[in-house]
Every structure is written in C-alpha cells, then in structure tokens.
Amino acid sequence: MDYAPVVSRTLRWYAHAARDLPWRRPDAGPWAIMVSEFMLQQTPVARVLQPWQDWVQRWPTPAALADAPSGEAVRAWGRLGYPRRALRLHQAATAIRDDHDGQVPDDYQALLALPGVGSYTAAAIASFAFGRRHVVLDTNVRRVQARIATGIEFPATAPTAAERLLAEQFLPTEPARAARWAVASMELGALICTARGPQCDQCPVRTDCAWHRAGRPAHEGPARVGQRYQGTDRQCRGALLAVLRSSDDAVPAEELDTAWPDRAQRERALASLITDRLVVAVGPDRYALPD
C-alpha cells in the first residue's frame, strides 16, 4: 500500500493546524525536548506546559539537573503524576553528564540506554531533537494507523510487531520529512483522530481512512481494563509524597499518619516509596525526599 498521499495531506494539514507548543519552537534544544518527552508520558499537554517552563528555566542543562538533589526533581515534579519519571529524568541527566559530555545523545540506542527512556521516547528525541528517521509509535499514531490502514477504531492494548511494520510503510525515506511525519501524525491523533469523538469532518485524510469508509464501525472485543484510583496504593503513595513535597525538612511519621488513615496500607506504600528511592528514612521515624 502506498501511503505517500496520506503523508502529504497530513503534512499539509500540520503546516497550518499545529499547536504552538514551546518545546517545538526553534529555540528548544535537545534537553528541553527530552524534558518535555518525560513529562508527556501518560500526561496531557495542558498539564505539562507550566512545569516544563519551570524545569527548563531552573535546570537548563542535563548537568544542572544532575548537580541538584534528586529530591528536588521529585519536588519540582509537583502533581504531574508518576513521580518515578522525575527520578529517572534525574538519573538520565546524571548519565548524560557523566557518560556523554553533558550532551543529550543523538543516537537511538544511546538514548534507549538511559533510565526512563523506552522505545517511544528514544525515537521521539532522536526524531524531534535531531531530525533522525525513526518510527515514533505513540498512542496517537497507533490509533491513526489503526483507523486509516486497518479499519478498526482502536489498536491493541500494547504495540505489536505488525504495527511497527505498518508504521515503517508510512515513514518517508528522507529523514527530515520522516521527522515531520512523526510529529504531524501524532498531532493528527491528538487533535482530530481522537479516542473519543473524532472530528472526521475536519480530517485531511478521511477519504484515505478505511475505518471512515467502512462507516466508523464500533470497536469489537473486550473493553479495556479500567484503571481504578480511589483507595489504591497509588493514591496512598501520592498522598504521602504530597506531604513530603510540601515540607523543606524531614517529616515525622505522625504527620504522614494524618495523610492516610489506613495504617497497613500507609506502611506498605511508604515502604514501596523507599524501595523506589522516592523517599528516604532519616533518623527515627522521620522521612524526607532523597538527596
């Protein structure tokens, strides 16, 4: 199948419809882009904008972040969620400072070796920051591909080998064009080809879309497993960490007690936070963010 027309139409659409996001501007370097990619993992753009500004201003280089205590990274992460990302970004910054002369690597494999960088993020940084040709397969692109090429409303739970092969067929040969396709196809998924209420009437490739041509058939198969939050260990961890973030000093255990009434769950969550190195025990029954 020749997807060149799909690529061309999408690039033409992106040229006028793209959002003006700060990490896409010419003055955003590889490090600023890398910070944005960490923050955007499972987190909407709207919630990332302010924390990203704060981070790149406070820590304009990987070395600047690496030289700060990891607990400060966790504190500055605020309520973005998944605070292990802050820790891994700090670890990645340390590796870049120590092993890459302070420069974000431009090579996919070197990026992939960094903590918190998986196949998506490595490809995204290589593509967006360095103009390299890579399949950038995020949730948006997967949904766009599923609809255009496969004719189904939603892709499988996890990326498959078939999806990667399909993505290769879309990817233009020329690196700069491939990089533009990567960001443009993500944008199409984020703005038009959305999970709920897709705007097919505004879609530049609706005539190329197998799902649209088929009359937008509803998704078959089991509904996705819902992710509960209320009452979970994750919520408990979040509550405990919020207390520690708000304090400049170590916090006595009694103060954590007030943040989560269930003792067994609280202790289990605290232990897991310590295992994850998001929290350290300092002195008898006192806890703090790590150094």
Partner DNA sequence: GATACGTGGAA
Partner DNA sequence: TTTCCAAGTAT
- Please say which residue, 71 or 189, places its beta carbon nearer to DNA: 189
- Angle subtended at Cα 179 by Cα 38 and Cα 73, rounded to the nearest 5 degrees: 15
- Please say which residue, 44 or 283, places its beta carbon nearer to DNA: 44
The contact pattern for DNA, residues 87-126, with x = CB under 7 A and - = no contact, is -x--------------------------xxxxxxxx-x--
- Please say which residue, 19 or 173, places its beta carbon nearer to DNA: 19
82, 51 Cβ separation under 8 angstroms: no
User: Is residue 92 packed enough to be buried (19+ CB in 10 Å), middle (13-18) or exposed (0-12)?
Assistant: buried
Is 226 one of the binding residues for DNA (CB under 7 A)? yes
For the chain, the 3-state helix, strand and coil shares in percent, each to the nearest 5, are 60, 0, 40
96, 104 Cβ separation under 8 angstroms: yes
Residues 255 to 274: which contact DNA by CB under 7 A?
272
Assigned token pair, 265:
């769950």
Shortest Cβ 21–DNA spacing (Å): 5
132, 179 Cβ separation under 8 angstroms: yes
Shortest Cβ 236–DNA spacing (Å): 8
Name, in order, each residue with C-beta under 8 angstroms of 53's C-beta and a sequence gap of 6 or more: 22
Among 8, 11, 17, 24, binds DNA (CB under 7 A): 24
Shortest Cβ 239–DNA spacing (Å): 6
Among 36, 94, 127, 185, binds DNA (CB under 7 A): 36
Assigned token pair, 120:
């998506």
Assigned token pair, 205:
């490739």
Among 79, 164, 213, 216, binds DNA (CB under 7 A): 79
What is the torsion angle, in degrees rounded to the nearest 10, for the CA atoms of residue 153, residue 159, residue 161 and residue 163? 30
Residues 139 to 168: which contact DNA by CB under 7 A?
139-140, 157-158
In angstroms, the Cα distances linking 276 to 83, 84, 121, 243, 282 are 10, 8, 21, 17, 16
Span of 1-9, 166-174, 181-189, 279-287 interacting with DNA by CB under 7 A = 181-189
Among 3, 14, 35, 37, binds DNA (CB under 7 A): 37
Is 163 part of the annotated catalytic residue set?
A: no
Span of 53-61, 169-177, 207-215, 234-242 interacting with DNA by CB under 7 A = 234-242
Assigned token pair, 12:
């033409």
Cα atoms found within 13 Å of the Cα of residue 278, Cβ hemisphere only: 26
Is 206 one of the binding residues for DNA (CB under 7 A)? no
What are residue 171's DSSP bridge partners?
A: none
- Please say which residue, 2 or 264, places its beta carbon nearer to DNA: 264
- Please say which residue, 43 or 103, places its beta carbon nearer to DNA: 43
Assigned token pair, 126:
């290589």
What is the separation of C-alpha 141 from the centre of its chain, rounded to a whole number of angstroms? 14
- Indicate which residue of 37, 72, 174, 254 is catalytic: 37
For DNA (CB under 7 A), the number of binding residues is 58
Could you give the residue numbers annotated as active site?
Answer: 37
User: Which residues contact DNA (rule: CB under 7 A)?
Assistant: 21, 23-24, 36-37, 40-47, 79-84, 88, 115-122, 124, 138-140, 157-158, 186-187, 189-190, 194-197, 223-227, 229, 232-235, 237-239, 241-242, 272
